[in-house]
Structure 1
């Protein structure tokens, strides 16, 4: 099949979610008009996730996986996905299914005119502390990046692959993907998507890595913005 779109799904200790993840993603790729494949990135899980991932990939031709030798974090898992994708478009979502793969179609409607389309979670189904810490973190990030995005933590994005592969990832940079597209003079937009409560597994981010960690990362982004190399080839022979 001539695949056009790859969905990257980072996974860390999510054995309780993987059966439902397989069903939801299988339903999506059967119904969408965009030829889609799935790349499951196991970020060094210590539970039975890898056994289940391999079984899923054996059952489904469009499913593939990468397995890290050790836990390296969400940004590393996303970076590995970027490095191994060979379709013109790529997407990213979490394995906890607090967002629905069906909403990728909402984002894909806009990717022709933009280089990154990110979801913004409408009516979030998280705790008060989680919602408030994310709200504060997003305000801080917007102050530093001026990217205009309200919810860069939303784990539902579509990016043109050539732009994604030029992003110089570092730990924590998954929160700055729209800003990194802007550094390439790309166009970005946010689209409302649905949000659901987590029904299995445990959240991997707490107050520190949702609020204080991103504040430190903002200074790393400013350094990178100052040093970032961007160029356009006018001609070659």
Structure 2
């Protein structure tokens, strides 16, 4: 069975957040044919039991379990590989990405013409409900990342993302790729659209990484992502029409260049 939309949530030790989050997704997406795919990344706090109970009341919910913790990027990839939807939307399972943002996140992909070549809709958080140290670290990391990758995005770490499944599967995979998806999507010749999204305070549990841990891992990943983008050469192509051999070798118009567009939401501005 194929669907238009698969919503993917990587989850690790989110027993206190995941149940209500799933209910809210169900309410927001009630009028849209969809599936929800939760990847339990070897939780040890009862998350799997909460998911089993939710599965009884939500037929659109699927739960895939990692036997050992593999991290957020690997969990997202597991979900995308299992997804039946043509379009994928992701959000964090900690409750800080309100599901009410999903319609605005998916709208550019559902409404745009194919020639728009939208490969990613990236959420950009407004009024972040994080500690000042986490906000400062995120701003600093985003500035450094943008200086090296020039992806035109100011908040690539936001978990709210939407993209065609086939675009994601065309990207090179490495750990923490979810933080560099705008650059990787540009690398493959697709456009990136950004939309403002809301942000909520974490009500239960805690983040799995400190600012220092993110920074140390991020330096290595950033250098690797910069190397990857610098090594990609996109060929400009055209197909030779049948019976028109005299067109061979003639100059053809170049393919459109990628760009980052910003969708302004009057409610949030």
TM-score of the pair, normalised by structure 1: 0.92
Question: Are the aligned partners of 2:19 and 2:51 in contact in 1 as well (CA < 8 Å)?
Answer: no
Aligned pairs for 1:27-176 within 5 A: 27-31=27-31, 34-111=32-109, 112=112, 113=116, 114-176=118-180
* Residues 26-66 of structure 1 deviation map (CA, whole Å, 9 limit, x = unaligned): 112214xx422100001111121112212212321110011
Count residues with an aligned counterpart.
235
Aligned pairs for 1:193-208 within 5 A: 193-208=197-212
Residue 4 of structure 1: SS of its match in structure 2?
strand
Question: Are the aligned partners of 1:6 and 1:89 in contact in 2 as well (CA < 8 Å)?
Answer: yes
User: What corresponds to 1:20 in structure 2?
Assistant: 20
Question: Are the aligned partners of 2:11 and 2:38 in contact in 1 as well (CA < 8 Å)?
Answer: yes
Deviation, 1:227, is: 4.1
Q: Separation in 2 of the partners of 1:38 and 1:87?
A: 10
Question: Are the aligned partners of 2:129 and 2:200 in contact in 1 as well (CA < 8 Å)?
Answer: yes
Deviation, 1:145, is: 0.9
Residue 88 of structure 1: SS of its match in structure 2?
strand
* Residues 174-217 of structure 1 deviation map (CA, whole Å, 9 limit, x = unaligned): 10011111011000011111111111111122112333321221
2:212 equivalent to 1:212: no
2:8 equivalent to 1:4: no
Question: Are the aligned partners of 1:124 and 1:196 in contact in 2 as well (CA < 8 Å)?
Answer: yes
Residue 66 of structure 1: SS of its match in structure 2?
strand
Question: Are the aligned partners of 1:2 and 1:35 in contact in 2 as well (CA < 8 Å)?
Answer: no
Asked which structure has the greater RCO (Cα within 8 Å, sep 6+), the reply is 1
Aligned CA-pair RMSD: 2.1
Question: Are the aligned partners of 2:42 and 2:68 in contact in 1 as well (CA < 8 Å)?
Answer: yes
Question: Are the aligned partners of 2:89 and 2:106 in contact in 1 as well (CA < 8 Å)?
Answer: no
Structure with max Cα Rg: 2
Structure 1 runs not aligned, ≥5 long: none
TM-score of the pair, normalised by structure 2: 0.81
Question: Are the aligned partners of 2:156 and 2:180 in contact in 1 as well (CA < 8 Å)?
Answer: yes
Structure 2 runs not aligned, ≥5 long: 241-269
* Residues 78-114 of structure 1 deviation map (CA, whole Å, 9 limit, x = unaligned): 1111211221100110011111112111122212342
Q: Separation in 2 of the partners of 1:81 and 1:167?
A: 15
